[in-house]
């Protein structure tokens, strides 16, 4: 058996005709690693308004990884770290590197004939509770949110994440904070106490405005508030926590274990949300989770892009003693993304389950690779930021 990377292929996928998903979710970047003995491993990188910069960074990572032994994950990552001067501050570079790291694990698992989770701690969670995201497109009123939420609950979900803030950004008036609270109140009254509500702030507010919004929403018992302030204002989160008791979650914009150690040690976060596709992949996710566990903090991975990301993330979820809940957009993807992976995991009654097959456990639909290969950036709409769910950035 030869464990060298012989060939690297970087693939951009998307919808060629009618756009069916939010801009941040409309493209997928994959890396396909082929070993010297013909084995294939896949990885995925995120694309939120940076598809082409990440794609170019993937070419740089390929220069390090081509010809390398993919079992040597620590060495290969460290060699790129040594050469990539701005890695610790470049989400483009860490995203590209994460894709190669995930694909390396896929090859390792296939070589050894075992799923990745058995190589990184084994099964602790056989069923992985999911929360739905992406379900509330074109919603702005309480009635619209309630109508769509009821359909999601019928699919078996017992937790929903959503952004109730319309087009408020940086600042929110007391009046709009009350309007947002009416959306949350309507969902709580309709769905009852057995459904968890997770509030997505999207890092959109300054500190005082985050407090205004959070104090209005807290009476409806959210599971957590996600990224209540702009990322560079994370040092003000202890001030927000003086006014609320709802846990604060963050992490999708942090890039490595040292970033997570910083926010955990400073006491600014209660739940961490690493993204495997931008924070150096599977092995780093285990290290980050261990840092959290040592501080009594639970893990709820960010997972907003494609099915290879989901498969990689579930392989880590499965092993964690401090796992909380897993983000899922699966039910609300466009058709091409749903069909990209033919097997590997299932989502039933609001819970994920892994197939137990080697590596990531997935089979790629080659027809999607043929029919949905594209080039270029994702769509851009100057009136609606690319990070929101489509049709929600409007007056409340």
Q: In whole angstroms, give the CA distance from residue 316 to residue 289.
A: 9
Give the phi and the psi of residue 350 in degrees, each rounded to 5.
Answer: 75, 20
Give the phi and the psi of residue 67 in degrees, each rounded to 5.
Answer: 85, -5
Among this protein's residues, is 235 annotated catalytic?
no
Task: Collapse the DSSP code of 55 into the 3-class scheme (helix H, G, I; strand E, B; otherwise coil) and give the result.
Answer: helix
Among this protein's residues, is 302 annotated catalytic?
yes
Q: In whole angstroms, give the CA distance from residue 85 to residue 7.
A: 25
Q: In whole angstroms, give the CA distance from residue 374 to residue 361.
A: 26
Query: In this structure, what token pair is assigned to residue 148?
Result: 């769509």
First vs last C-alpha separation in the chain? 60
Closest CA to 192 of 155, 160, 163: 160
Q: Which of 171, 235, 302, 351 is catalytic?
A: 302
Q: Which of 202, 230, 235, 351 is catalytic?
A: 202
Task: Collapse the DSSP code of 338 into the 3-class scheme (helix H, G, I; strand E, B; otherwise coil) and give the result.
Answer: helix
Residues 6 or more apart whose Cβ sits within 8 Å of residue 27: 12, 13, 14, 47, 51, 374, 377, 378
Closest CA to 288 of 254, 318, 312: 254
CA angle 239, 242, 245 (to 5 degrees): 125
Cβ(302)–Cβ(103) below 8 Å: no
266 Ramachandran zone, left/alpha/beta (phi>0; psi -120 to 50): alpha
Q: In whole angstroms, give the CA distance from residue 242 to residue 297.
A: 19
* Residues that are catalytic: 202, 302
């Amino acid at each position: 058996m030869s464990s060298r990377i012989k060939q690297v292929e970087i693939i951009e996928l998307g919808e060629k005709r009618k756009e069916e998903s939010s801009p941040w979710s409309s493209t997928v970047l994959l890396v396909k690693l082929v070993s010297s003995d013909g084995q294939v491993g896949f990885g995925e990188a995120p694309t939120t308004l940076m598809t082409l910069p990440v794609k170019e960074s993937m070419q740089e990572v390929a220069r390090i990884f081509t010809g390398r032994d993919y079992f040597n994950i620590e060495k290969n990552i460290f060699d790129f770290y040594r050469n990539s001067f701005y890695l610790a501050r470049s989400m483009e570079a860490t995203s590209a590197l994460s894709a190669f790291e995930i694909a390396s694990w896929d090859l390792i698992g296939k070589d050894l004939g075992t799923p990745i989770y058995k190589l990184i701690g084994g099964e602790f969670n056989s069923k992985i509770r999911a929360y739905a995201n992406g379900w509330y497109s074109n919603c702005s009123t309480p009635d619209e949110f309630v109508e769509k939420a009821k359909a999601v609950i019928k699919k078996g979900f017992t937790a929903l994440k959503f952004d109730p803030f319309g087009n408020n950004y940086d600042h929110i008036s007391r009046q709009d904070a009350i309007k947002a609270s009416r959306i949350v109140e309507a969902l709580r009254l309709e769905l009852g106490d057995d459904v968890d509500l997770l509030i997505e702030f999207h890092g959109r507010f300054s500190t005082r405005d985050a407090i205004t919004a959070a104090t209005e929403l807290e009476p409806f018992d959210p599971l957590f508030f996600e990224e209540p302030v702009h990322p560079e204002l994370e040092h003000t989160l202890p001030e927000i926590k003086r006014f609320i008791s709802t846990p604060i979650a963050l992490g999708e914009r942090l890039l490595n274990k040292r970033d997570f150690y910083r926010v955990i040690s400073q006491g600014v976060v209660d739940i961490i949300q690493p993204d495997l596709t931008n924070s150096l992949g599977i092995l780093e996710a285990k290290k980050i989770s261990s840092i959290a566990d040592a501080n009594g903090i639970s893990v709820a991975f960010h997972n907003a892009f494609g099915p290879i990301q989901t498969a990689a993330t579930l392989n880590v979820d499965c092993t964690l003693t401090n796992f909380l809940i897993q983000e899922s957009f699966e039910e609300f993807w466009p058709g091409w993304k749903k069909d990209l992976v033919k097997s590997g995991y299932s989502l039933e009654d609001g819970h994920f389950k892994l197939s137990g097959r080697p590596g990531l456990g997935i089979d790629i639909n080659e027809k999607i690779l043929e029919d949905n290969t594209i080039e270029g950036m994702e769509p851009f709409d100057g009136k609606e930021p690319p990070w929101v769910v489509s049709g929600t950035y409007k007056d409340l």
